[in-house]
Structure 1
Amino acid sequence: MSLVKDADLELTADRRPLASLYSRNVRAVIVRGLVATKTSNAAIMISGFVEPVLYLLSMGIGLGALIGTVQGPGGTEISYAAYIAPALLTVSAMNGALYDSTMNVFFKMNYAKLYQNMLYTSLGPLDVALGEIFLALLRGFLYATGFTIVMAAMGLVTTWWALLMVPASVLIAFGFASIGMGITSYIRTFQQLDWVTFIMLPMFLFSATFYPLTVYPEPIQWVIQALPLWHGVELLRQLSVGAFGYMTVVHVLYYVVMVAVGMVLTTRRLRALFLR
């Protein structure tokens, strides 16, 4: 009777949704990542936070003294530093998420063979994907919280709505991390990772980070508005001054779809690579 009961329990477990992909043990992946970060990647994490702060100090204060005020979301007149600060926060969330989900993942996948070893255990590809992406989100959360505190200290936070920039930054990081990990699964050499930088740099320069989108010809505006970073920049700018509209919902939905596509892509690729 005991053997029959155990077999029934095992059969029931196998019938649960996503049983072959998800063992409900994401915690093991997260704990392993936190230990590795503490021992070897702490300096890299700190540098990722300092970079946007330096941009804010040099561009926002230095160049801002010459520019004065600019028109923000909803026609609000704000200082140039307050204009670029949400954009730099978006860039920080993107950079942190993509670093964790591309370079780190590439090394773990192709050299350390970490994911193969994980999937030899009871872990499923969805456990691995969620664990790695959570680590990228944690980094994005820390960056967003620290940068928002810097903004408040500089007097650039004028409404309580600005606190929503922190969870919004996590959503942005989630979108980039999920897509980044899926794309990395197709990369075979370190040189191919340069394509990630090749795509990130134009987005950083042209996604209305330092000046309004209206400075471009209309066809170029359409291209920029299709890029994910522009949606993140506009979303955080609106939250920073509490100016909302239907486009706020559009920006959020853009990242929700991005997350869904990235998670499906990443899970399928891990399964195809390591569970064939």
Structure 2
Amino acid sequence: MLTVMKEAELALLLLSMVGCGSAGARAQHGQPDLAASAEVVGELQLEELLHQLDLLEAEVYAHSPSEAPGNPIERCADHDREVMSRMLAFKLLMGKQQKKAADIKYYTLLQTGKPGALLPAIQLRRYYFEGLLECVLRLTGTGPRKAREESYVSLLTQSNFEAETSRGIVLVDFMTHGCGPCKIMAPELEKLARHHRGELRVGRLTVDRHPELNERFDIATFPTLLLLKDGKEVARLDDVRDYPRLLSWVQSALPGEISPMSAKSVPDGQAPDRDTE
């Protein structure tokens, strides 16, 4: 346990060495000035970081479903020294001894915290889940990890919402980053956006950071999907769907406007790549 504590403290020390201290000294030695960068991290950049983290968390749980024998996630979190040290570093930053308490504080900060101030917590949480994923892949024999595909999902904020949704067909995911089903939905939305780019756009909006938009559309549960055409609501869905069912719902709401990609030869939950057909 002492070794794990030292490794966790080292992770925090490395973060502070990058994020604090003399900007001039860091620039002289060619080191990134994270503290200066944090000051200019805006709402859109914050959402991009959190979206990638949501995709990472979804990937972890996709490789270790609840019915997986031996629960690989728990085995990694409770017995793998590297994973344990990364989580401990996150808990030290949050000032909480228990993981649940640290998670609660983290998600509370995400609701109202300034984007730049949230950067260290997001980095350490990503550091933890990257280690957790590596461990789960080893235990389940499903590695190595696949390369991350380019994202086609738009990250929406109060400032860009109208420009992104006022024309054409747009599917908006009203979600929160503390919502488990919202994370599960993230990779399915990526599939929809990737395979139907040019026909519709897909966006995600964090409702607790943009309550005005949440009130405007009267969203009560998360995730809620709104299908908009030229800025006007066409349909809404408030339960989690996989890619084939998502596509079917969109097609039924807009008959003849979204191409019927054939899924009869594709396993449920997967989709053919439009570029290779």
TM-score normalised by length of structure 2: 0.25
When you count helix as a share of all residues, which structure comes out higher? 1
When you count strand as a share of all residues, which structure comes out higher? 2
Q: Using CA pairs below 8 Å that are at least 6 residues apart, which structure has the higher relative contact order?
A: 1
